[in-house]
Structures are given as C-alpha cells and as structure tokens.
Amino acid sequence: MKKKIALIFGVTGQDGAYLSKFLLNKNYKVYGIKRRSSIINTQRIDDIYKDINYKSNFLLFYGDLTDSSSILNLIKKTKPDEIYNLGAQSHVQVSFEVPEYSAEVNGLGTLRILEAIRSLNYQKKVKFYQAGTSEMFGRTKEKFHNEKTPFYPASPYGVSKCFAHWITVNYREAYDIYACNGILFNHESPIRGETFVTKKIIQGLIRIKDGYQKKLFLGNLYAKRDWGHARDYVEVMWKMLQQKKPDDYVIGTGKTFTIKEFVNKAAKQIGFKIKWVGKGIGEKAINVENKKIIIECRKRYFRPVEVDYLKCNAQKAKKLLKWSPKISLDNLINEMIEYELQHL
C-alpha cells in the first residue's frame, strides 16, 4: 500500500519533532520544511535522522513561510496527503518586539499555504491543519473556553493567529478545502523552547540546585495557564484530519494553574523547600535550607498586556475525536526534570 505523505511546516519546533515521530510510527512518509539559519537548527529532529527505522521516510527541505514560491514549489514537489502548518514566530512577548514579522509569518504564512493548495487545484487531494492557539481567546472573560467562545486576542501573536484561523475557515467555505483549526492550549515537553516559562523554571531551578546559576528571574506569577504535554497534543492534530468533515476543535486539559503554582510543583519535585515573601514586583522565593533568594521578579518579563486566565473545555474533541489528554501536569514536570538532569 502506498504510504501517506505528510508535509510539516515548523518541523524543527517542539510540536514538529513530536508530530514527525508520531506520523513516522503510523507509517507515513514525512517531509519537513526548515528555514535557513546561520547555525544548525535541527537539534530536535536529529535523532529521527539518525534512526535507521525512520531515515528513508523522513526528508527535509529548505523553505520559509514568508516565501510563497518555496511553499508552492514544495507542495507541488512532495504532493502531500496532509499538510500541518506548525510554523510560527510563536513567542507571545517577542511578538510585541517584532509585530510585523509575527503577522507576516503567522498570518500571511498561513494564507500562502492555503493559496498554494487552491492555485494548484489540490483542494480535493490534500488535508490542511492550522496550529491555532488559546491566545486567540486572550482577555475573554469566560470560566472555560470552547469552540464558541469569542476571540479577544491580547498580543500581535494572538491577533496574527486570529487571521490564520479565519482565513482557514474562509478557504474551507469558499473552496471546499479540508482544513481544520486546532485551537490548542499551552503544551510543553522536555524539548520546549528555553524562553517559555515552564522550561525556563525547570532549567533555572535545576541549575541553581547544582550550583550553575544563582537566581531565576520571572515576570507575572499570577497568570493562569492550562498546560498539557505536546506528545498528547500532536496525536489530536492527526485525528482532526482523519474525520469525515473538517472542523475546528479546542484542545486542553480543563485544569489551570498559576505560574507560582507551577514553580511550587517543580521546586518540590526537584527537592527545594521554598518560601515566598514580598508582594508585586518585590515578590521573591527563598531557599529555606540556606536562606538564599533564588527567584525574583523583573519588569522586563511582564507583557504590555497579559492574558490572565486560560482554561479549556475540550468536550467536543472528547466526543467526536475520542481524545483526552493522558499525561498529567505532575508527570509532565517529572519528565522535563529528568531530561534536564540528563542534559545539564
């Protein structure tokens, strides 16, 4: 039987790496698009390349979401059955520093893929997944967020992803493309980028414990996030593309914790006893054993506008896709710690 072909934009990112392995284990041929960088940016997928079981079914091409010609040529060349658009300038705070570029890659990049599918007349041949985000809900005041919750994005990143969401809906309705928006809440893993808060906390605390770092500097400790594991979430991306009809789904755990609660959980697992003192920007965590301050807040890590609260109601995915997250936050933290200890 002919192998299915998947084309992944953002293959070098956290989700790209997990999704590649997931699809290869499902016997897909996986083609990934990497952008040119001055030093090698394939660390997260090098193990796939080296693995003899995967090697011949995994191939990378240069391309960029800002470059229509590369997108068009690669879709034409690889003739995929499924396209996953995971490529993005994905850092919310950075999007305030590079708003135009974030919109260009995240918003127009999505349009470029859809337009390539349409202009190649591939709408009946290919299924498309768009990596949407709970950041699109932003400042919406709802206890739970689901597919009907209105968007109120609170960053250039969130706004750019709303464009990507609606252009995906629009191309589905206008041209009958099988296109789905996965509206995913935060998901982490040992290979999470180092400037996202979970990885930063775990890496920082382990370095402090082992004497490589003195302090960890954070921003807002009171924002709440619904954190899951990337391994669980790439499975549901694939599930969305295996349904009879394309649709949009929110994906999350239904549990939410503050950054401070995350720190407390991680510190406990690492073996720190910490005590919080002070308030606002002056809030600090002290290592009870030696009375040293190990965490402080810094203004530079606060955003111009914050998304205070995110909590998912993924009933639709549970019912229609038969999907629920399997990995708890405590187990996710444990896996991230183990990885960090091995790679210190």
The one among 54, 144, 163, 196 contacting ligand GDD by CB under 6 A: 196
The one among 5, 6, 7, 13 contacting ligand NAP by CB under 6 A: 13
Backbone torsions φ then ψ of 159, nearest 5 degrees = -65, -40
User: Which pair of tokens denotes residue 39?
Assistant: 């030093």
The one among 43, 53, 195, 315 contacting ligand GDD by CB under 6 A: 195
Residue 68 belongs to what H/E stretch?
helix 68-78
Amino acid at 5: I
Q: CB-wise, 92 or 267, nearer to ligand GDD?
A: 92
> Rounded to whole angstroms, how far apart are CA atoms 228 and 185?
8
Site for ligand NAP in 47-76 (CB under 6 A): 64-66
> Rounded to whole angstroms, how far apart are CA atoms 245 and 258?
37
Amino acid at 173: E
Helix/strand/coil for 76: helix
Q: CB-wise, 61 or 301, nearer to ligand GDD?
A: 301
| Total chain residues near ligand NAP (CB under 6 A) | 25
Task: Tell me how long the chain is.
Answer: 344
| Total chain residues near ligand GDD (CB under 6 A) | 22
Compute the CA torsion angle 152, 230, 102, 263 (nearest 10 deg).
Answer: 70
Compute the CA torsion angle 311, 316, 319, 322 (nearest 10 deg).
Answer: -70
Q: Is residue 203 within the footprint of ligand GDD (CB under 6 A)?
A: no
Nearest to 332, CA basis, from 233, 228, 234, 245: 228
Q: Is residue 89 within the footprint of ligand NAP (CB under 6 A)?
A: yes
Backbone torsions φ then ψ of 151, nearest 5 degrees = -85, 145
Tell me how far, at minimum, the Cβ of 312 lies from ligand GDD, in Å: 10
Q: CB-wise, 60 or 297, nearer to ligand NAP?
A: 60
Sequence-distant (≥ 6) Cβ neighbours of residue 212 within 8 angstroms? 344
Tell me how far, at minimum, the Cβ of 187 lies from ligand NAP, in Å: 5
User: Among 28, 110, 135, 339, which one carries the catalytic annotation?
Assistant: 135
The verdict on whether 54 is a catalytic residue reads no
Cross-strand partners of 183: 132, 250
Site for ligand NAP in 192-231 (CB under 6 A): 193
Cα 126–Cα 84–Cα 161 angle in degrees, nearest 5 = 115
Only segment of 133-141, 170-178, 267-275, 329-337 that touches ligand GDD (CB under 6 A): 133-141
User: Among 157, 178, 233, 309, which one carries the catalytic annotation?
Assistant: 157
| Residue 92 interacting partner from ligand GDD, ligand NAP, none (CB closer than 5 to 8 Å by kind) | ligand GDD
Tell me how far, at minimum, the Cβ of 259 lies from ligand NAP, in Å: 14
Nearest to 254, CA basis, from 181, 325, 305: 325
Sequence-distant (≥ 6) Cβ neighbours of residue 309 within 8 angstroms? 223, 224, 256
Cβ(245)–Cβ(127) below 8 Å: no
> Rounded to whole angstroms, how far apart are CA atoms 110 and 131?
9
Q: Is residue 99 within the footprint of ligand NAP (CB under 6 A)?
A: no
Only segment of 140-148, 180-188, 204-212, 284-292 that touches ligand NAP (CB under 6 A): 180-188
52 Rama sector, left if φ>0, alpha if ψ -120 to 50, beta otherwise = alpha
Q: Is residue 103 within the footprint of ligand GDD (CB under 6 A)?
A: no
The verdict on whether 100 is a catalytic residue reads no
| Residue 303 interacting partner from ligand GDD, ligand NAP, none (CB closer than 5 to 8 Å by kind) | ligand GDD
Q: Is residue 165 within the footprint of ligand GDD (CB under 6 A)?
A: no
The verdict on whether 84 is a catalytic residue reads no
CB nearest ligand NAP: which residue?
13
Positions that interact with ligand GDD (CB under 6 A)? 90, 92-93, 133-135, 185-186, 195-197, 200, 218-220, 223, 225, 259, 301, 303, 306, 310
Positions that interact with ligand NAP (CB under 6 A)? 9-10, 12-16, 35, 37, 41, 64-66, 86-90, 105, 131, 133, 184, 186-187, 193
